[in-house]
Each structure stands twice: as C-alpha cells, then as structure tokens.
Amino acid sequence: MPVTPEQQAEIDELRAQTKPTLRAVSEGMEKHLYKAHDVLDHGFVRVIDYMGDDEAICQAARVSYGKGTKSVQNDEGLIRYLMRHWHSTPFEMCEIKLHVKLPVFVARQWIRHRTANVNEYSARYSILDREFYIPRVEDLAAQSVINNQGRGEALTGEAAEQVLRYLKDDSNRAYDHYEDMISEEDGKQGLARELARMNLPANIYTQWYWKVDLHNLFHFLRLRADSHAQMEIRVYADAICEIVKAWVPAAYGAFEDYRLGGATLSGKAIDCIRKMVAGEEVTQETSGMSKGEWREFMGVVNDPA
C-alpha cells in the first residue's frame, strides 16, 4: 500500500478543510489537491500546493490587471502562440509543489532536472522503510542491442523468475543487514544511520517534496513522458500529466500539441521534407544526414501518430 493509514488520515483531514482565498483557484487542480495517485508498486504522486492557472499565464504575457475585451478563446490562442514560439516566462508564473514517493534509482534520474526546489527524506536522521520496487514480470527485459540506454526483448520463463528472485532476495538481505547495523539491542552500539544507508540497494523507496514552475515542469514532462524514457520514470510523468491537464487545460493542450506531439527538425530534415512534397525521391545517402539522424527522421515521417 503506497499510502500509510496515517498518511491517508492526514489527506482526508486536509481535504475536509475549506479556506477563503482571493488568489486564483483552478477547479481542476482542487480535485487533485492532497490526493495520492499510486505509481509503481509502492510509489505515489500528490499535489501539496500550487499557484496560478491559465489566466495567470495570459496576465503575465499581457502585463495587465484588466480583462479588457479578451475572452477564453483569446486566452487559449495567446497560450498557444506563447508555446509555439517558445516564450517561456509567462509559464513560469505558475508553480506546483508535489510530494513524490519513488525508488532511489528513479530519483537519481529525476534530480538531473535541476530547475526545481527539492527536499528529500533524510536517511541520515530517519530509518528507511522496508519497501523496494520489484518490477512486474512483463516489465523485465534484456539489454537493447540498438540503444545502450534502453530495453530490448522481454525476459520470460525461468530467466525472468530468476531475476525476480535475485531482486527480492538481495533487497531483503541488504535491509536485514541494515537493520542489524543500526540496531542498539542487547547493549550494542549501532552504526550511524548515515553510514548504514550505503548498504541499501537503489530500488529502495525514498520521498521528497518537489516544487517547480510550469515552464520547467513542461520540460521535464517532454523528456520523461516520452515513449523513449525509462518506464519507471515515465509512469510518474504520465501521472503528473493528468494532474497538469486538469490544472491548466489550455496550457497543457498547447504543450501536448507542440511538445509531446511535435518534433524538432533540423535544416536538413526540413529540406528533405520540401523535396518529398515536391515529389522527389530522398534517401539517406542524398539527405546529407548520418544513418542515426536518418533513422530518427524517418521515425517522425512514418509515425502514424
């Protein structure tokens, strides 16, 4: 169970409270506030706080307090213009603070996005729970022979079962030793927690508060909600996408069109498309691209989505 009974009681108490406010409120986000969205086997994502909405983006772009003659359609058109032309500052006017529970190896990928404020659960002061990410059988795969960062053919049968045994046995053995090292029973002096933690595997769960503005969140989601991202971080990005869609629907719609569903093309790629539209035959040899560039370009051109 990702959320403990104590955490659920806290969530229920927070959601039962109502407070008057003059600040902008997103009705879509209010439905997500404090709720835990389960991710993986023991993880979750939940919204702790947020600031701004679609209107705040437009207000910042116009630098105006008045509504004037603008309409919802004008706001959506402006947001799409801002997204299309990479005007990032207005999106920075919106912020979100998330409470995330995730495996340590996913956290190490996540923390590469350095444009956020992070406060992580400290294993120097507190004892980590015996909770480990154990993949589902269908998520086990061999190393890709094409992509050094990716998965290849799925593991099945005894090979998959052996991997699961290793993961479960090694995780629990490491935690047994961790507990023994910090134990102070029978008058024994326990090892400092900051030292004992180094024996724990990278699939143990940690937690943090992660605060980020919408522009940098979109950058995170563009990379981590992509089909090429590692599955274990992609499922967190997918959960956050659903939250953002409810929070700033116009901004998320533009992001979905121009970032998630779009593609960045080089000058050579655009030249190839112009030739193709004109009816010319273009090959990798005549494109001026490397084999890798050509493969990626054809992936965009031939993608039915």
Domain-located, residue 186: no
- The DSSP code sequence of 92-112 is GG-EEEEEEEEEHHHHHHHTT
Domain-located, residue 188: no
Question: How far, in Å, CA of 240 to CA of 37, rounded?
Answer: 9
Domain-located, residue 12: yes
Per the structure, the count of domains in the chain is 2
**Structural domain of 250:** 5-133+203-260
Taking only the tens place, the pLDDT of each residue in 140-153 is: 988 877 777 777 78
Average pLDDT over residues 251-255: 97
**For residue 102, how many C-alpha atoms fall within 13 Å in the half-sphere facing its CB?**
25
CA nearest neighbour of 2 among 49, 50, 35: 35
Domain-located, residue 184: no
Average pLDDT over residues 31-39: 96
Which sequence positions are flagged as catalytic?
A: 224
- DSSP bridge pairs for 45: 37, 100
Question: How far, in Å, CA of 220 to CA of 214, rounded?
Answer: 10
Q: What is the pLDDT of residue 68?
A: 54
Question: What is the three-class DSSP state of 46?
Answer: strand
Residue 125 has pLDDT above 70, yes or no: yes
Domain-located, residue 178: no
Domain-located, residue 153: no
23 with 110, same domain: the answer is: yes
Average pLDDT over residues 246-263: 95
Domain-located, residue 159: no
Which parts of the chain fold into alpha helices (H)?
5-16, 27-30, 54-62, 72-84, 104-110, 157-182, 193-196, 214-224, 231-247, 249-255, 267-277, 284-287, 291-301
Contacts of 226 (CB under 8 A, 6+ apart): 234, 260
82 with 27, same domain: the answer is: yes
Long-range pairs for 139-146: beta carbons < 8 A, 24 or more residues apart:
139/231, 140/164
Q: What is the pLDDT of residue 36?
A: 96
Return the CATH number at 49.
3.30.1360.170
